[in-house]
């Protein structure tokens, strides 16, 4: 078992995009600094989407100009189309994420394009990024269950995996966008995906809608996956996907990995301050399953009660 795992923090993008309120660029930078302080070195910082469609992501070009620790932190940005890619490139993004929903209906509901059109658009962006020396990551969204079409056949996902690999994607992210997957499904699909490419090129993105986020993470770990998305405090949920509640919480993933002796470079207790910062910024109490336990450990160390 490889003992190092990358935890990719998606709170500043996936976590914030479904909020009813809109944070300023300064507040978003404050969140990213708190994540840096907690040890996060892989962060999806924002998306270059239309502010009319997702107002929470307005000003991402300005945000990328202010990102801290760019020498030591791997920042990425979601780009929905070629225009978004060009904007990300102009802002200095070194890694871009495309999102290919694996069903036709999800693409129609999300971006008003067919599956074929979205596949072609994602491939075009990936090829452009490769030509420009920018890392290109391809998300395979609703890879297990679509909120509109139901269970997704594995062959559909695998066919799209092959197309993104052919386009030159540096990484494939298998995404359980609505949190409907179970460990058996994860093991099965991951085994088939890693038969097509190295496990080093595969990551997973789980939501905790049905309480299976950590179980699915463990199932993917058993399949030799060593990179996972998560969101501080369990923030998130796709605004275009019914039933997509929060991402699996960063603190839960890190604590589980740390307890198993796997190295993330992140100390679980250090995440509490980042959770508290995020809670204050979004004016909502956040925290995954482990938050109360983590705060109790801090209180024991300091000899007092944890104050968020």
Annotated catalytic residues are 238
Ramachandran region of residue 150, left (φ > 0), alpha (ψ -120 to 50) or beta?
left
Closest CA to 135 of 193, 85, 209: 85
Closest CA to 143 of 131, 153, 130: 153
Residue-wise DSSP of 85-141: HHHHHHTT-SEEEEEEESSHHHHHHHHS--HHHHHHHHHHHHHHHHHHT-EEEEEEE
Residues 38/251, Cβ–Cβ less than 8 Å = no
Chain centroid to Cα 7, Å, comes to: 9
How far apart CA 142 and CA 133 sit, in angstroms, is 28
């Amino acid at each position: 078992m490889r003992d190092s795992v990358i935890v990719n923090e998606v709170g500043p993008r996936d976590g914030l995009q479904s909020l009813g309120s809109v944070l300023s660029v300064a507040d978003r930078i404050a969140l990213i600094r708190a994540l840096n302080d907690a040890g996060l070195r892989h962060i999806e910082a924002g998306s270059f989407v239309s502010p009319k469609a997702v107002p929470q992501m307005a000003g991402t070009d300005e945000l990328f100009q202010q990102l801290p620790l760019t020498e030591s932190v791997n920042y990425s940005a979601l780009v929905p189309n070629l225009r978004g890619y060009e904007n990300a490139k102009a802002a200095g993004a070194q890694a871009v994420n495309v999102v290919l929903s694996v069903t036709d209906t999800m693409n129609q509901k999300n971006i008003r394009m067919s599956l074929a059109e979205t596949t072609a658009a994602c491939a075009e962006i990936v090829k452009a990024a490769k030509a420009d020396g920018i890392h290109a990551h391809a998300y395979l969204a609703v890879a297990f269950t679509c909120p509109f079409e139901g269970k997704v056949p594995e062959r559909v996902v695998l066919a799209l995996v092959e197309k993104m690999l052919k386009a030159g994607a540096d990484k494939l992210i298998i995404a359980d966008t609505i949190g409907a997957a179970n460990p058996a499904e994860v093991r099965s699909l991951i085994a088939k995906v890693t038969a097509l490419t190295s496990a080093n090129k595969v990551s997973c993105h789980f939501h905790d809608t049905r309480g299976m986020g950590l179980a699915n993470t463990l199932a993917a770990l058993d399949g030799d996956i060593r990179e996972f998305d998560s969101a501080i405090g369990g923030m998130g949920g796709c605004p275009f996907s019914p039933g997509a509640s929060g991402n699996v919480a960063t603190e839960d993933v890190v604590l589980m990995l740390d307890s198993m002796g796997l190295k993330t470079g992140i100390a679980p207790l250090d995440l509490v301050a980042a959770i508290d910062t995020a809670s204050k910024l979004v004016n909502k109490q956040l925290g995954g399953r482990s938050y109360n336990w983590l705060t109790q450990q801090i209180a024991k160390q300091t000899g007092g009660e944890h104050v968020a």
